[in-house]
Structure formats: structure tokens, C-alpha cells
Amino acid sequence: MPHSRTVNVALVGYGYVGKTFHAPLIAATPGLALATVVSSDPAKVAADHPDVRVVADLDAALADPAIELVVVATPNALHAPQAIAALEAGKHVVVDKPFALTVAEARTMARAADRAGKLLTVFHNRRWDSDFLTLRRLIAEGGLGQIVQYESHFDRFRPVVRDRWRERAGPGAGAWMDLGPHLLDQALALFGEPLAISADIGVQRPGAGADDYFHVVLRYPTLRVILHGSLLTAASDLRLAVHGTGGSFVKHGLDPQEAQLKAGMVPGAPGYGRDSRHGVLTTVENDVQVHADVSPEPADYRAFYAGVREAIVTGAPSPVPVDEALRVMDLLELARAASEERRELAVDPSSQTLSR
């Protein structure tokens, strides 16, 4: 598909997230060009992208008038200051999740985008997971009836604490800030805003400096949404268990794109985004369970970046509107408070993050 012009991109950070997700997705999205990477390890970048310019600091990238889009893929504590600097330099900005450390920081970023008249969005890439897209299709088709329970898992088995910032005590660390944004964003996209939230967020592994377990419940009038994550689950296959008045949908196994990207598969290559593990739809006929395989939807995280490109070039809607990303931040904080206070907390609709 031809594009009227190419958007030059500067990627800030070349750790796991920058190298595995953002760089290959940007490079493989028509109409985008990975022009610059901000990294202290130029050899690492050159091994993957030999034609890309590498600079040591953000200021050098922001000084380049050819750069239109800055992608912030650095540790969470740097998201706000780096995004604001990029916006004030007249650049559009993508921020990896979580949006920021706090709702207050995120609102400050949103105001900076408003002042600059530039796009600000958050990489909620799990909207383009195969299992999520498959569930959306099932809900739209009506086969599940009215959804009464939605259980979404992101479990892993990492009994040994790793020496990395995400697992050490500090701002933005822990499983809830790492995985919670994905699960909250998906739940809000499917069901909208809940009435209340309760949460149990804790530490289970010896020596862990940050939370490695969460069990969060969003209460709706009838529906209950359960968001669960653990780093001590050896049987970590369960991804979705969704129950409705018409049937149940159960999916095991994660969307394959992260593993494919980690293995070096080029986005868009044959088989990319194709989940080999089908979900199962269970219905009841004459008091007998009937099980049917559900073919997974093909998925492609490049859809996010294609949406970013169109928003910049044509003024199309953002693939993840900033107000939706702010609402995720609201519930991240509210869940933390609910866990600390050991009680359910009401979600106040008057605290809409639109009023910033």
C-alpha cells in the first residue's frame, strides 16, 4: 500500500522492549522508518539495524528536524520526563506501557500533548492479541450470550528473582505495573468502566523487592471481571476463561507474537501472528456439554503502528486515545489503594480523566 510520505522515527531505549517489540514493528510498518535509536550500546543496535543512526542521548534525537515521531521504550520512571521533552520539541510520541508512574504524571503528559498539538499515545499492543481478537469476535457473534464472568490470566513461572529494575524495589516496578496495564486495557475495551474494584497485590517469592502476584476484581452490575497474574505458576497456560448465558470460552496459551519477535521473526512473515492453539467453546444442549474448537483470529501488532502513522499523516483517530490510556492509569492506582486498604473501592465516574 503506497503512502504519501514516510514518518521518521526515533526509538528511545534498546533494552528488551525496544529491541524485541518496537524496533522490528516500526521497521516492518509501511510508511514508517526507524531512523534513529537512542542507546548507550551502539554495537547492539548495529547488529540488528546496521543502517540506523545511533545517538547517546535524547537531546541529539530531538534536535533532528527530520524526526517526527519519538517512541519512549525506557524504564517506567523515565516515561514522563522523556515524553514531555519530546512533545515540547514538537514531536509526536508513543510511550510504552505503563503510561507513567502515576495518574498525575500521565495527566501532565496529556496536557503537554494538548499544548504542543501533537499525538500522544500508549503502546497497549495487547489489543491486537489473537486471543483478544477471537473473543471480541465471539462476543459480537452473540454465541456466549450475556457475559457474566471474565477471567484473564497473565501467569509465569520465575521462582528465582532476577536482578533487574522490574523486580527490585522502586518506582514503577512489579508485576502489577508490568502486566496490569495489558489486562486492564483489554477489560475496559470489552466492557467499559466498572462500578468498583477490589484487589490483592503482594509479594510471594523470597527476596523479591516488588510485587509478583495480583488478583484484581472489577465489579459491574452483573458481570465480574477477574484479572490475575503470578510469577509462581508453573501451570501457566490458562489465558482466558469467559462464561456467559449462552456458553463458555476457554483459551490456553499466550498470543505467539512476543515469542516470534524474540526469535527474530519479521512481522508480516508467513505464520506471523498465527496462534496454533485453538480456544474451546462449550455450550449445553439437552443437559449435555458440547465442545467446539474456535479458530483463532490472525493478529499483528503492526496495526498499532499503522494507526499511529495514519493519525500523524491524515489526522485519523489515535489507535489508543490518550483518555483511554489515562483511564487505565486511574484503575492501576485505584487497585493499589484497594489492596493496601483491603477493601473494595468505588470507581467514581466523575473522576473521568478527560477533565485534566
CATH code, 260: 3.30.360.10
Q: Do 285 and 272 fall into the same domain?
A: yes
For position 343, what pLDDT does the model report? Answer: 97
Q: For residue 219, is it within any domain?
A: yes
Q: Cite the beta strand spans of the chain per DSSP E.
A: 7-12, 32-38, 53-55, 69-72, 92-96, 120-123, 147-153, 196-202, 213-219, 224-230, 238-244, 248-252, 279-285, 288-294, 345-346
Give residue 2's pLDDT.
52
Question: For residue 100, what are the domain limits?
Answer: 7-123+303-318
Task: Give the mean pLDDT of the chain.
Answer: 95
| Ramachandran quadrant class, 172 (left: phi over 0; alpha: psi -120 to 50; beta: rest) | left
pLDDT tier for residue 355 given thresholds of 50, 70 and 90: very low
141 and 280: one domain? yes
* pLDDT at residue 24 in the model: 98
**Model pTM score:** 0.94
User: Which of 252 and 167 is assigned the larger pLDDT?
Assistant: 252
Same-domain pairing of 145 and 268:
yes
How many CA atoms lie within 13 Å of 191's alpha carbon, on the beta-carbon side? 25
Task: Classify residue 179: in a domain, yes or no.
Answer: yes
C-alpha cell of residue 72: 519512549
* Strand duo 248-252 + 53-55: pairing: unpaired
Identify the band that residue 240 occupies on the pLDDT scale cut at 50, 70 and 90.
very high
Q: Which residues pair with 197 in a beta bridge?
A: 218, 345
Mean pLDDT for the stretch of residues 184-188? 98
Q: Is residue 340 part of a domain?
A: no
Do 39 and 130 have their domain in common? no
Task: State pLDDT tens for residues 241-278.
Answer: 999 999 999 999 999 999 999 999 999 999 999 999 99
Nearest to 174 by CA among 231, 95, 106: 231
pLDDT at 164: 77
* Same structural domain, 101 and 249: no
Among 62-71, 165-174, 204-213, which stretch is predicted with the lowest mean pLDDT?
Answer: 165-174
Residues 18 and 269: their CA atoms lie apart, in Å, by: 20
Q: What is the pLDDT of residue 121?
A: 98
Overall domain count for the chain:
2
For residue 207, what are the contacts with CB-CB under 8 A and spacing of at least 6?
161
Cα dihedral angle (34, 39, 43, 49), rounded to 10 degrees? -10
282 contact partners, CB below 8 Å, separation of at least 6: 247, 248, 249, 250, 289, 290, 291, 292
In this predicted structure, what is the pLDDT of residue 353?
44
Q: Note whether 285 and 183 are same-domain residues.
A: yes
Least confident residue range of 30-44, 60-74, 151-165: 151-165
Cell of 344: 473494595
Residues 59 and 132 in one domain: no
Asked if residue 279 is part of any domain, the answer here is yes
Q: Are residues 220 and 93 in the same domain?
A: no
Q: What is the mean pLDDT of residues 159-180?
A: 86
